[in-house]
Amino acid sequence: MAYNWKLYYNLPAIGLWVLLVLAIVLVKGNRNIRSLLVLIPLLTVYLVWLGLEWALGVESSGKAILDQVAVSLAIGVAILWLLGHKIGSRNRFAAFLLALIVVVAVGVVGALSYGGVDFSRETVVATVLFGIMILVMLLSFVLTGLSCRKRYSPWRFILWLAVWTVTMAVVFLLGYLVVAMVVLKLGDGRPIDMLASILLRVLIAGLVVGACTYGLVIPYMVLVFRSSFYRERFYACLRLPGMGTPHTNKSR
């Protein structure tokens, strides 16, 4: 009996880890021992995720999807932090587009790392979920920056980030529901109580997605507040009054 074995079966995230290494080695400003601090939140997220999977008893089919999303998102944020001084040197709109391009590239590499060129249903679902979570995260940072533009403090930023992350996740999933109802005509012939049940499930899903996205970002925010190396890069990207003047030229 023939068995079709491929490398990514045993090393599913190898492409993502290669990207992370390249971001450290090839970018001149990251050839600094302090750049390795980004591994602390990354490994924290990874270990917490493994613990949650074990505690919740995630089935193998769902595990493949969630592993791809969690690892891709965690490494994507780590790479954004490593490239912060490059992204922050542009205007805000260009910085947002660059950040989006970076994480989309990470998502593509993640999909190829976990599924190869054979895009299964699990790979497609994971890629869509990753796309939603990364848009939620980036837009939440933008909206949090706007909310803190008059008065910035770490705690104020963290609280507003929580509000906007959960809000944007709910908005995205509700938007998805509306589109699905229009395109697939889900509302035709369905009783009101069934539609209300669908709406409630979407709201709960939005809260869960928002909470997971926020929980994944928090370790990286702790790194920003504790490390001057990454704080300068973060300040350079948002450039809010009260953040001070980051000396990003040191890390370029």
Walk along the chain (252 residues) and give the pLDDT tens digit of each residue: 444 444 444 456 788 999 999 999 999 999 999 999 999 999 999 899 888 878 877 766 667 778 888 899 999 999 999 998 888 878 888 889 999 999 999 998 988 888 766 667 777 788 888 888 999 999 999 999 999 988 889 999 999 999 999 999 999 888 877 776 776 665 555 566 677 777 888 889 899 999 999 999 999 999 999 999 999 889 888 888 777 654 444 444
Question: What's residue 11's pLDDT?
Answer: 54
Joined together, the tokens standing for residue 42 give: 């990354």
How far apart are the C-alpha atoms of 206 and 214, rounded to whole Å? Answer: 12
pTM comes to: 0.84
CB–CB of 216/73 below 8 Å?
A: yes
User: Which residues, 6 or more positions from 239, have their beta carbon under 8 angstroms from its beta carbon?
Assistant: 88, 92
Question: What's residue 248's pLDDT?
Answer: 42
Joined together, the tokens standing for residue 196 give: 């209300």
Question: Residue 151 belongs to what H/E stretch?
Answer: none
CA 177 to chain centre: 22
> What angle separates helix 92-115 from helix 60-82, to the nearest 10 degrees?
140
Q: Which residues of 60-94 are buried (b: 16+ CB within 10 A; e: fewer)?
A: eeeebbbbbbbbbbbbbbbbbbbbbbbbbeeeeee
How far apart are the C-alpha atoms of 41 and 220, rounded to whole Å? Answer: 6
User: Which residues, 6 or more positions from 119, have their beta carbon under 8 angstroms from its beta carbon?
Assistant: 111
Question: What's residue 126's pLDDT?
Answer: 83
How far apart are the C-alpha atoms of 67 and 49, rounded to whole Å? Answer: 8
Question: What's residue 245's pLDDT?
Answer: 52
Joined together, the tokens standing for residue 149 give: 């533009």
How far apart are the C-alpha atoms of 234 and 221, rounded to whole Å? Answer: 9
User: Which residues, 6 or more positions from 52, have their beta carbon under 8 angstroms from its beta carbon?
Assistant: none
> What angle separates helix 60-82 from helix 14-25, to the nearest 10 degrees?
10
Q: Which of 134, 154, 130, 132 is nearest to 144 (CA)?
A: 154
User: Which residues, 6 or more positions from 11, have their beta carbon under 8 angstroms from its beta carbon?
Assistant: none
